[in-house]
Amino acid sequence: MKTSRNTQMAGTYRAALAPYSVWSFLFVLVPLIFIAYYAFTDNSFSFTTENITRFFTATSNMVQEDGSTREVRTYLLIFMRSLRLAVISTLVCLLMGYPIAYIMARAGEKAQKTMVTLIMIPMWMNFLIRTYAWMTILQDTGIINGILGKFGISPIHIIGTETAVIIGMVYDYFPYMVLPIYSILAKLDGKLLEAARDLGCGTLSVLRRVVFPLSLPGVISGMTMVLIPSISTFYISQKLGNGKFFLIGDAIEGQYVANNLHFAAAIAFILMLILLVGMTVMKYVTTRYVYGGE
Amino acid sequence: MKKIIELKNISKAFDGETVLDGISLDIHDNEFITLLGPSGCGKTTTLRIIGGFEYPDEGDVIFMGERINDVPPHKRHVNTVFQKYALFPHLNVFENVAFPLRERKVPKKEIQEKVEQMLKMVMLSGFADRRVNSLSGGQQQRVAIARALVNEPKVLLLDEPLGALDLKLRKDMQQELKKIQKNTGITFIFVTHDQEEALSMSDTIVVMSEGKIQQIGSPTDIYNEPVNAFVADFIGESNIVDGVMLADYRVSFAGHTFNCLDTGFGKNEPVDVVIRPEDVDIVPPEKGMLCGTVTSVTFMGVHNEAIVDIRGFKWMIQTTDPVEEGAYIGITLEPDAIHIMKKSKYSGMFGDYSSFSNELDELSNPDEGEEA
């Protein structure tokens, strides 16, 4: 009797899950298989590892600051640059986002709702429009320099620098850092903070020894959610970096536009593998050493 | 005994609603003192003011002769055992107990020794590496006590610490807490709404209601000599009857004049008369000082609990003799069974069992959970 009911339950469960299974199969698994398939085939769809090797071995000459040229491994350089910019953006998001998330979590109920809305509003706007908006802000004759000029300060050059690219990335992915941290902090039991104070902790100590460690799951999911899209982002660097900081996402897009589907797929495949390994390590570290993981 | 904490005329309001109304209380060194009262009486707020989590609107908190109104919690020589323990879930048992020591940068070796000693005291040796979430309620309770005592505070505050435990465990922990208090000599300030718990553990009980202290005294004082109908009703069961004090040692109620032990009331002063259910003797009707009809009998294990209608007023009587519903019985009262109280604003509100049922009684004394 009991078993039959359990089987029945499992049946219902599976039936309810079916649409999602079909969806994931069609729109997640199949495309991934296609990417892998393209990555390991040439234009006539016969097996080759050439695209993969090309990612690691392709070289080009880069003009250095002193005018001399240097031979570099093109795609590795681009990948490392993407990684570096993504890591910097993630850290900036974290440093800016954590205090805001903390303030939000401790604010009154009404203020919390307002702040969550304010954080989310930029996400309602198209990504391209947001990036164009930053162009007008950061340009040499843009809004920032206009304001500086009014105060008699000489214009600063931001557009076309790495800083501009980082500003763009931080702006775009900031909500993904704030919201997970906020949702963890908002749920934090106030009694734990009282207990810490009761046991001798001043304000800073409470933050360092109780609030921060308990919010680590939020910090880690925030970092993942910013790091991964910013590593594979494109367009931001083209528009805000004046195309000088070609990122791995731009490389994929470039190859795709140039109809090099197989090489584009190979870059995407390698990027995916690297991210997958990175996430697995992160997850392992989380479950192993961070509260709430076990 | 030396005074360790003095509360002087403390008042506190939240959003214009008075929670504490002129509380004055002396707490002595090495004392087990219990703040007892129903939900919303202000006992938890009083505790939080002593702990430093709330500041009084008026009045002073004196700690060993020093005014500490504005001293933040981490600078007070007071530690708290929280209602739901508030253990740190990201730390194991050892680190939870070591938490305050690490804050004071105590040397490692000393931390190791002290934590082990504390865990031994609460009988959790060998649990040091366990995650706190894997412990039972009783074990978590012990960790919370060890963590609060490891700093050797002058005063330990306990906010309904046994509320979440089942009855048996609760009784064991009561014994244990009392033992720990005796052995360490630390002053315990214990908050509860459970009068039995208060009676069995405390040196001193402070009965509170509506933000005011109703009575301070030893458990026997509070039980035998309640000052008003509220205290008489809250501590144990009581029949509270309107009476008139005819003269010293003479009181009249329920249509009969009794001898009693009380003096000092005005001639013919109206008073509240308290008779504990266990102090009533059942006799045949012809020998009774008062007579009435048994309207219900509940078997309680050790005794029977009978509700008896005497001239329209329902009395509760506890007796080990068999009684039957519908029987017409007489009762007698010894002089020492009668306790006289002055009339108060609580007169007439308590002590009548006409609508009594055990179930209702429990409903009106719900587990308070989280009281502000």
Interface of B with A (CB under 8 A): 51-53, 72-74, 78-80, 82-84, 86-90, 99-100, 102-104, 131, 147-148, 151
Percent of chain B scored above 90 by pLDDT? 58
Q: Which residue of A has its CA nearest to B153?
A: A199
Which of B57, B88, B69, B74 has the alpha carbon at shortest distance from B6?
B69
pLDDT tens by residue, A104-129? 999 989 999 999 999 988 888 888 88
Do B191 and B316 fall within a single domain? no
Which of B224, B244, B266 marks a domain boundary?
A: B224
- Could you read off the pLDDT tens digit of each residue along chain A, which spans 294 residues? 455 667 777 788 888 888 898 999 999 999 999 999 999 998 888 898 888 898 888 888 877 777 778 888 888 999 999 999 999 999 999 999 999 999 999 998 999 999 999 998 888 888 888 888 998 898 888 888 888 888 888 888 888 888 999 999 999 999 999 999 999 999 999 999 999 999 999 999 999 999 999 998 899 889 989 998 898 888 888 888 887 788 898 889 889 898 889 999 999 999 999 989 988 888 888 777 665 444
Give the domain extent around B204. Answer: 3-224
Three-state DSSP state, A59: strand
With beta carbons under 8 A apart, name residues in chain A contacting B84: 191
pLDDT tens by residue, A116-171? 999 988 888 888 888 889 988 988 888 888 888 888 888 888 888 889 999 999 99
A194: nearest CB among B78, B86, B104: B86
With beta carbons under 8 A apart, name residues in chain B contacting A205: 74, 103
Do B239 and B328 fall within a single domain? yes
Q: Does the residue A260 lie in any domain?
A: yes
Do B202 and B256 fall within a single domain? no
Q: How many domains does chain B have?
A: 2
Q: Name the DSSP letter for residue A211.
A: I
Q: What's the pLDDT score for residue B361?
A: 53
Supply the ipTM of this predicted assembly.
0.80
The distance in angstroms from the start CA to the end CA of chain A is: 35
Interface test with B, best of A198, A201, A207 (most B CBs within 10 A): A198
Q: How many domains does chain A have?
A: 1
Do B7 and B134 fall within a single domain? yes
Q: Does the residue A229 lie in any domain?
A: yes
Do B159 and B260 fall within a single domain? no
Give the domain extent around A228. Answer: 40-289
Interface test with B, best of A189, A194, A199 (most B CBs within 10 A): A199
Strand partners, B191: B35, B159
With beta carbons under 8 A apart, name residues in chain B contacting A189: 86
With beta carbons under 8 A apart, name residues in chain A contacting B88: 192, 195-196, 210, 214
A194: nearest CB among B53, B78, B100: B53
pLDDT tens by residue, B228-244? 889 998 888 889 999 99
- Cβ atoms of B188 and B177 within 8 Å: the answer is yes
Do B212 and B245 fall within a single domain? no
Q: Which residue of B has its CA nearest to A293?
A: B90
With beta carbons under 8 A apart, name residues in chain A contacting B52: 197-198
Look up the CATH number of the domain holding residue B90: 3.40.50.300
Do B122 and B34 fall within a single domain? yes
Q: What's the pLDDT score for residue B368?
A: 42
Count the Cβ atoms, other than its own, within 10 Å of residue B218. 14
Do B196 and B269 fall within a single domain? no
Q: Does the residue B372 lie in any domain?
A: no
Q: What's the pLDDT score for residue B71?
A: 92
Q: Does the residue A62 lie in any domain?
A: yes
Q: Would you place residue B57 in the very low, low, confident or very high pLDDT band (cuts 50, 70, 90)? A: very high
